[in-house]
Structure 1
Amino acid sequence: MRTRLTDLLGCRHPIVQTGMGFVSGAPLVAATSGAGGFGIIASAAMSLDELRATIREVRRRTDAPFGVNVRADLPDAVERIDLLVRERVRLASFALAPQRDLLRRCADGGVLTMPSVGALRHAEKVTGWGVDAVLVQGGEGGGHTGPVPTTLLLPQVVDAVEVPVVAAGGFFDGRGLVAALAYGAAGIAMGTRFLLTSDSPVGAAVKRHYLEASVTDTVVTTRVDGVPHRVLRTPFVEALEHSGRVAGLVRSIRHAGAFRRQTGLSWPAMLRTARASRRGRELTWAQTVMSANTPALLRTSMARGRPESGVMPAGQVTGLIHDLPSCAELIDRIMKEADDRLAALSTAR
């Protein structure tokens, strides 16, 4: 299936695997890209050396193109972009709005850019800066999300911008791909669906939590890092939701200390990261500290297999997922379903 997205990225199918912290490493990204989709490395919790090693490991596993998600507010964001240029990575995606100088640096180095947006005004802003594509995530999507559902946000953005639009939030099968194309998107992006594959590194206990969840078993909270964040309901998340300001700050500092020990960062370095994350956002200091150490909460659940003690970003679509195919099986299934759906529509009377 050829679209503007496959032409731009050089992949066979218009299916993107989003960058998910402690999930989207070399095995998952290589499996996605090798199956004809487009995998994206989640680099926010990696050092520069770890990111370089991950890029080269993906290349060892497949010669298919892939991308890297870069957190634009990290102190070393420029160095990360320079690494992508040197390693000739196809695409840089951004979960937070990138600075214009980062976009110029990518363009000058031959790296394509695709920010994620959750509002029409954000799409208009970044496309005015010269990005190559935008990923539009509706409110039902996992992780950081906005209030507008995909079925309303997607046509808004498609009508307003000229670059290829990738639809995210609520997609898991071939019917969704055809629906996104009908709205004018050039492809779909999926996080939760790729997390729930046999190629995903997430432990069995964590996957079981996702598979057992219903479409109402997620919650949008600002208590994780100050920004609306859709996650699975867990006792830990419920405690965050109901803790007072002082208790929230104490809890945040405790987790920040754990993150500092895990990463080797100094307290001054963590404070610099906290200040960067607070810039331009009206956050309490409890939320700011949580923002700086959110990776520790993700690591606890996603990498260490302790779902009761961490945070598990999840789209509402988790309630419609009941199996763990390989990435190749999943992509093949989606494309067959899409072909079947298009054939049925073309013969409808």
Structure 2
Amino acid sequence: MTGTVHPALRTPLCELFGVRYPIVQTGMGFVSGPELTAATANAGGLGILAGATLSLTGLAAAIDAVRERTGAPFGVNVRADAPDAAHRVDLLIREQVRVASFALAPKPELIARLKDAGTVVVPSVGARRHAEKVAGWGADAVIVQGAEGGGHTGAVPTSLLLPQVVDAVDIPVIGAGGFHDGRGLVAALAYGAAGVAMGTRFLLTSDTLIPPEVHRRYLSAGVDGTVVTRTLDGVPQRLLRSDFVDRLERSGPVRRLARSARSAARFRRLTGTSWRHLLAEGRAMRRDHELTWGQVLLAANTPMLLRSAMVDGRTDLGVMAAGQVTGLIDDVPSCAELIERIIAEAQAVLHRLAGAPDAGR
């Protein structure tokens, strides 16, 4: 991006993260690898490496791989309820990773440890009360995802949730759920957000290692091409509609539990996770999310079903997390092309609203 950037696009996030633009690429399991994370960082946004589906050793290697590709700041996503979350936090501190991203609220002691080390802490939430809680615990910023977003999601649309959270906390708020272009970025800023986070839009870039057939499935979906289901783990998730998801919804509990048990074993082998850690994680999920043991076992199914589609390209045997915004996306640019386009569009909108010519184009 050449030329002067509109001052409205230099938000507190830019200084907090050390990036040029207030755009975040979320840490999507089996999608946000070193290639995508580094490409986003090199383009001026904050790339977040997905760490939840990696072993601790694999995560260390992935961080090294990002560093081989970029000298820009980036983040790493950690599951706050993982049995080895403290060890992963220690790794981020040792590696001097700029941002620690959490899909769930991290414990106050983890936040304190990261902040003492100078690491920026950014949890993702789907409700005002959760944003207030993590802000009170010392989080530096918060990603707020509305119902339009993919993966685990709530029921309140971004247009209502985002201003509600902005009014409730005094830390930078990042809007997520439904964003894909410069108009959305300006809209989020108008609500009081400090930037936007996007998953599906970055998934549909040429810097991911997603199989072409998976990209085609996303591009062919309409705005009504997603479904929210509790079938996988008892918690609402937004996925692409598919025959496989329909079969999961129709299958009985015994069949789903048997499939989940097999998937848990496969996931353990893939990540090197011990059965003891899996059981500890299951107990934490049961306590934190008020799930039954049956739902906990179903949750073990999710990583392998995501991997089947996102890595193996088996859209007939896997699931694909997707925001409703997939119905508005019709191309697969590079991260550099995408971010440059978003900033150019945002500047054009800002100049138009001010009654000025499109000086930033």
- Equivalence for 1:345: 353
Instruction: In structure 1, give the amino acid aligned to 2:280.
Output: R
1:264 positional shift: 4.3
Establish whether residue 50 from structure 1 lines up as the match of residue 58 from structure 2.
yes
Instruction: In structure 2, give the amino acid aligned to 1:91.
Output: V
Task: Write out per-residue CA displacement over residues 159-190 of structure 1, whole angstroms, 9 at most, x where no aligned residue.
Answer: 11110000000000000000000000000000
Structure 1 unaligned segments of length 5 or more: list them. none
1:254 positional shift: 2.6
Match of 2:243 among 235, 240, 247: 235
- Equivalence for 1:257: 265
Establish whether residue 81 from structure 1 lines up as the match of residue 85 from structure 2.
no
Call closer, same or farther: CA 1:71–1:56 in 2, change over 3 Å: same
- Equivalence for 1:146: 154
- Equivalence for 2:330: 322
1:93 positional shift: 0.8
Task: Write out per-residue CA displacement over residues 191-235 of structure 1, whole angstroms, 9 at most, x where no aligned residue.
Answer: 000000000111101111100001111111111122111111122
1:101 positional shift: 1.2
CA distance in 2: counterparts of 1:263 and 1:7, whole angstroms: 35
1:266 positional shift: 4.2
Residues 158-307 of structure 1: pairs in structure 2 closer than 5 A = 158-307=166-315
1:291 positional shift: 1.6
**Contact 2:233–2:298 under 8 Å retained in 1:** yes
CA distance in 2: counterparts of 1:254 and 1:27, whole angstroms: 30
Instruction: In structure 2, give the amino acid aligned to 1:236.
Output: F
**Contact 1:249–1:285 under 8 Å retained in 2:** no
CA distance in 2: counterparts of 1:158 and 1:179, whole angstroms: 13
CA distance in 2: counterparts of 1:180 and 1:107, whole angstroms: 27
Instruction: In structure 2, give the amino acid aligned to 1:283.
Output: L
Establish whether residue 109 from structure 1 lines up as the match of residue 117 from structure 2.
yes
CA distance in 2: counterparts of 1:234 and 1:285, whole angstroms: 27
CA distance in 2: counterparts of 1:106 and 1:264, whole angstroms: 25
CA distance in 1: counterparts of 2:276 and 2:169, whole angstroms: 41
1:236 positional shift: 1.9
1:343 positional shift: 0.8
CA distance in 2: counterparts of 1:314 and 1:268, whole angstroms: 32
Q: Percent identity?
A: 64
Establish whether residue 119 from structure 1 lines up as the match of residue 119 from structure 2.
no
CA distance in 1: counterparts of 2:74 and 2:135, whole angstroms: 22
**Contact 2:232–2:301 under 8 Å retained in 1:** no
1:280 positional shift: 2.1
TM-score (norm 2): 0.94
- Equivalence for 1:2: 10
CA distance in 2: counterparts of 1:171 and 1:109, whole angstroms: 32
CA distance in 1: counterparts of 2:214 and 2:149, whole angstroms: 18
1:268 positional shift: 3.6
| RMSD after superposition | 1.3
**Contact 2:285–2:291 under 8 Å retained in 1:** no
Say how many residue pairs are matched: 348
CA distance in 1: counterparts of 2:302 and 2:283, whole angstroms: 14
CA distance in 1: counterparts of 2:301 and 2:78, whole angstroms: 17
Establish whether residue 132 from structure 1 lines up as the match of residue 140 from structure 2.
yes
TM-score (norm 1): 0.97
CA distance in 2: counterparts of 1:51 and 1:251, whole angstroms: 27
Residues 27-66 of structure 1: pairs in structure 2 closer than 5 A = 27-66=35-74
